[in-house]
Amino acid sequence: MLTVSWANGLVLVALQDGSTSLPVIAVPDATATGGRWLLLVDSLSRSWGSRTDGAIRGPAASGAV
């Protein structure tokens, strides 16, 4: 699921996939048809975090996005 919200001049884009595992950036094979979402998020954002229990983890948790 993708959600986008705007508050205090900041845009928050959230992706949800139902996994309970924390995301890991991996470089996919050049011929792979998937596996590039975190690379895209990482390259487009100043910081990002993750959550599995409702609490944001990572740089986004401090509001420093």
Return all residues near 50 (Cβ < 8 A) that are at least 6 apart: 22, 23, 56, 57, 58
Q: What helix, strand, coil percent values describe the chain, rounded to 5? A: 20, 20, 60
In a domain, 26, yes or no: yes
Average pLDDT over residues 20-24: 78
**pLDDT tens-place string over residues 34-60:** 878 778 877 877 676 666 665 555 555
Q: Is residue 31 part of a domain?
A: yes
Q: Is residue 56 part of a domain?
A: yes
- Please count the structural domains in the chain: 1
Given a contact cutoff of 8 angstroms between Cβ atoms, the answer to whether 37 and 48 are in contact is no
**Residue 1 domain flag:** no
Inside any domain, residue 5: no
Domain-located, residue 7:
no
Residue 13 lies in a domain: no
Q: Which residue has the higher pLDDT, 32 or 57?
A: 32
The predicted model gives 17-41 an average pLDDT of 81
Residue-level pLDDT at 65 = 45
In the three-class reduction of DSSP (H, G, I as helix; E, B as strand; rest coil), residue 62 is classed as helix
